[in-house]
Chain A
Amino acid sequence: MNFRDIFSLSLRNLLQAKLRTVLTTIGVIVGVAAIVTMVSFGIGLQDNLLRDALGRIDLLTSINVIGPGADAMLAMREGAGDGDNAIGRRLLDDAAIDELRSIPDVRYVNPQLSFDGYVRFEGHTRRIGIGGAPLIVSDNPRFMNILAGGHFSSGDAREAVITERFLQRLRSKSIPRGSPPRQQGGEAGPFRQPPTRSDEERQRDARAVLGSDLIMLTLPGSGAGGAVFGIPLPAMTGFEEQQDGDVTPGFEEHRFKIVGVLKSPDGIDFQLGGNQLLYLPFEVARQFREGSSDPLRQMGEMLAGGSGYQGAEIRVADIGRVEAVKEEIRRRGFNFISLGNQIEEIKRVFLIVNASLAVLGGLALLVASFGISNTMIMSIRERTREIGIMKAIGGSDGEVMRIFFVEACLIGVAGGVIGVICGWGIDRIANLFANRWIAQQAGRAVRHIEFFSIPWYLSGGAILFALLISLVAAIYPASRAAKVDPIIALK
């Protein structure tokens, strides 16, 4: 008997008991939809976390050296922490930065310099993270991703490069939560997303602020205002200068001209120290940082005998040399974090998460397989005579068996395909509600987030699994059908 005949025979058998077939198939649909929905959520989560990381090779060639804090240095000076590798032993000062720069295959080393400051812009004053940026930023992805404008004209220019999130934060109507605000721009939860807007709109917004001034506020008499650093003395705040009248007089104001706007990364910002919304020329930032550091920290640095950078971002010229450079950095006594390892780690965790989700969904499908067995056994009981007839007129055991296997396959594949479609539908609806909920929480339009992802291997795998389960469920009924004795069946 050729396959086409077996297929149409199986199909007609199924259609003869439509309700039973439909109910059995619904069992499979539920199981497959459960697998697809759950696993697609896991994969979606993973994608959201890793989309940028995997899409950008620059994250894999980046090594973040961590400098010991003043307290760690102080303790180490007193002989603590022998053999403790968790903390870098070396102070990350300018000499260390130069040493790191000398390592072969290192393209550049950006010492990380950041502090919090109060900044006024368009009449709003907010506390934000401020960072120092090198003058030369060629091939540094963070500063090359420009929405409008450019970079500082010189190392001591009173110029600022802002990020898109700077604008969002300063213009935000919502009350900042927590202090210090380590999660600036994170209004949409863990997914830092710029608003849903077209690139043209974003560029237009960015261009509009180019050339305008922002004002950094410092306490009078703090180091930053001093002429010692070669910075011109700032104008004292006067009532006549107040734009909105909401600033308490008595602060020093430092004006910076906005020369560039950086595009906020989509998805999650993987850059360590990615909380800076505003960048100043490195040396300028350094002076302000010293000026703004609190007395306790100053004391710690004095006790430790020096202050280093919190960290430094190292870019390796060639991805193939990353491991060698890491080894060299380790040998020189620095500690570091490299995203390459973390991505592997994240993927491993998600593999476990997704597998557990798949197992949960698989249980539903397993239950469905009992339904298939049950349906087929019932159907064989009803059709014993028919099976006897088929055998009497020349049907072989194998052919009878095949008819039932194909029936099970049809249930499995139909249930699988419909189940995948249902899973996709559930994903779409859930995604819609989730985004609506986030928008509500954020109080503004946020970029649409895909919480679910159904890659082809998930849908294909789910259908294949449904098929497999159906085949297994059919083993017993089909072999029972093949064993029907025509003489007894035809009596």
Chain B
Amino acid sequence: MSILQAREVSREYRMKAETVHALAGVNVSIESGEFAAIIGTSGSGKSTLLNLFGGLDRPTSGEVLFDEESLAPLTSRQMSRYRLASVGMIFQSFNLIPTMTAAENVSLALAFAGMDRAGQRERVVALLGRVGLDHRRDHLPSELSGGEQQRVAIARAIANSPRVLLADEPTGNLDSRRAAEILDLLDEMRRSEGMTIVLVTHDLELARRHATHQVMLRDGVVIGEERMAGGTP
């Protein structure tokens, strides 16, 4: 069953006089429990597609479906609920709030969900434990290594138990050893918790190693798609 689906999705940006077609009629279906990799060079439209899946953006035409339901009719408020609970996102630059400690960053996602303080505290401990950062709870992002920051970001992304984790070049700022650790963590979460992972990357090698489903994008068009054995657990 497809958990995320793009149907004839186009996304255009108007830049002064000219119109940029970031995506042009993309059809992609991501099954529940997959480790999907969207592969493309810079400007291929892969991040645009991920933002559409993540509910940060809306397509110019076509529609995005989550769990067979279109996101198009959602109000801005419903869309924020979708971002909060249905999907989690991590980014190349981690996007942690620099003035908040690791625990506070994770707690913020729980606060948006309306969880009370005691619940937040308890859950933060569990989440940071899950990503192996028990001992770093009260550190600011600037006091953490890149790999650690990304782990905090992952903990925040999965705070409200989303079914899909969207990762936008999550290892772009990490050395190869840390990168491998992060991807192993994502893969492990997919296997143990049945979470669907959508990874956006330009690194073909990286995608090959973990992905069960590869989508190649170029100039806003899908130019190739491949499903590997052992995809859906």
Smallest beta-carbon distance B112→chain A, Å: 5
Q: A4's closest neighbor in chain B, by CB?
A: B117
Whether A487 contacts B51 by the Cβ 8 Å rule is yes
CA distance A397 to B76 in the complex (A): 8
Which residues from B are CB-within-8-Å of A393? 83-84, 88-89, 108-109, 112, 156-157
Whether A389 contacts B56 by the Cβ 8 Å rule is no
Cβ of A211 under 8 Å from chain B: no
CA distance A391 to B77 in the complex (A): 11
Cβ of B45 under 8 Å from chain A: no
Q: What size tier do the contact residues of chain B reach?
A: 20 to 34
Of residues 288 through 319 on chain A, the ones whose CB sits less than 8 Å from some CB of chain B are none
Whether B116 contacts A399 by the Cβ 8 Å rule is no
Of residues 356 through 414 on chain A, the ones whose CB sits less than 8 Å from some CB of chain B are 385-386, 388-399
Return the contact of B83 from the options A386, A394, A398, A487 (Cβ within 8 A): A394
Which residues from B are CB-within-8-Å of A394? 80-81, 83-85, 109, 112-113, 160
Whether A390 contacts B76 by the Cβ 8 Å rule is no
**Known A5-B111, A399-B112: A391·B80 in contact at CB below 8 Å:** yes
Which residues from A are CB-within-8-Å of B146? none
Cβ of A174 under 8 Å from chain B: no
Cβ of A179 under 8 Å from chain B: no
Whether A392 contacts B54 by the Cβ 8 Å rule is yes
Cβ of A19 under 8 Å from chain B: no
Cβ of A346 under 8 Å from chain B: no
Q: B94's closest neighbor in chain A, by CB?
A: A389
Cβ of B95 under 8 Å from chain A: yes
CA distance A16 to B140 in the complex (A): 14
Of residues 9 through 23 on chain A, the ones whose CB sits less than 8 Å from some CB of chain B are 9, 12, 16
Cβ of B19 under 8 Å from chain A: no
Q: Mark B68-99, 1 if CB is under 8 A from A, else 0.
A: 00000000110011011100110101011101
Cβ of B57 under 8 Å from chain A: yes
Cβ of B224 under 8 Å from chain A: no
Which residues from B are CB-within-8-Å of A389? 95-97
CA distance A399 to B111 in the complex (A): 11
Whether B80 contacts A397 by the Cβ 8 Å rule is yes
Of residues 201 through 222 on chain B, the ones whose CB sits less than 8 Å from some CB of chain A are none
Q: Mark B95-115, 1 if CB is under 8 A from A, else 0.
A: 111010000000011011110
Q: Mark B105-140, 1 if CB is under 8 A from A, else 0.
A: 000110111101100000000000000000000000
Whether A487 contacts B84 by the Cβ 8 Å rule is no
Q: Mark B17-57, 1 if CB is under 8 A from A, else 0.
A: 00000000000000000000000000000000001001011
Return the contact of A16 from the options B54, B56, B99, B117 (Cβ within 8 A): B99
Cβ of A341 under 8 Å from chain B: no
Given contacts A386-B97, A390-B108, A393-B89, could you give 9 more A-B pairs where the C-beta distance is less than 8 Å? A1-B114, A2-B116, A9-B108, A391-B80, A391-B83, A392-B95, A393-B156, A396-B76, A490-B95
